[in-house]
Amino acid sequence: MASVNKAILLGNLGKNPELRHVGSGESVANFSLATSESWKNRAGEKQEKTVWHNIVAWGKIAEICNQYLKKGSKVYIEGRIENRSYDDKDGNKKYVSEIVIDMNGKMVMLDGKSSGQDETSQLPPANDDSQDFPF
């Protein structure tokens, strides 16, 4: 039986992407993304909940994220969910969940014109088919 591991997020960056290169020379960018929902409770009071997601972008998408995204940018992301563990400096095991965007993922910038660009500038696609919003 086939399986699917796909996360779809629409939110705002919580910090600027941090770009680095791994031993093979491939680019990787890390940043946080906030998604929020709001509702009214039984008393009619507005409630809001924000969830923070760890995003890891690889390759060309990582470079584009680093170049064009900044804290507060609105972005649409499709990626896979990965869980991993590590030992902190005190030897305690920590667990983290991440949304990974690689050549099979998608990232679409939704803010329109990036600050510092003139109106005729064109942003490069985040991957081969992501120029248009997917729905």
- Please count the structural domains in the chain: 1
Q: Is 11 helix (H, G, I), strand (E, B) or coil?
A: strand
Q: Is residue 62 part of a domain?
A: yes
Does 14 map to a domain?
yes
Per the domain annotation, does 115 fall within a domain?
A: no
Residue 97: which domain range?
Answer: 7-109
Question: For residues 67 and 70, what is the distance between their CA atoms, to the nearest angstrom?
Answer: 8
Q: What is the pLDDT of residues 8-20, one digit of tens each?
A: 999 999 999 999 9
Q: Could you tell me which of 84, 108, 78 has the C-alpha nearest to residue 6?
A: 78
Q: Cα(first)–Cα(last) distance of the chain, in Å?
A: 27
Q: Is residue 23 part of a domain?
A: yes
Q: Which residues pair with 48 in a beta bridge?
A: 38
Tokens of 54: 């760890």
What pLDDT does 127 receive? Answer: 45
pLDDT at 129 over 60: no
Total count of residues recorded for the chain: 135
Q: What is the pTM of this model?
A: 0.78
Query: Tell me, what's the pLDDT at 113?
Result: 57
Classify residue 128: in a domain, yes or no.
no
In a domain, 63, yes or no: yes
Residue 16 contacts residue 69 (beta carbons within 8 Å): yes
**Residue 44 domain-assigned?**
yes
Whether residue 126 is contained in a domain is answered as no
Q: Identify the CATH number of the domain in which residue 70 sits.
A: 2.40.50.140
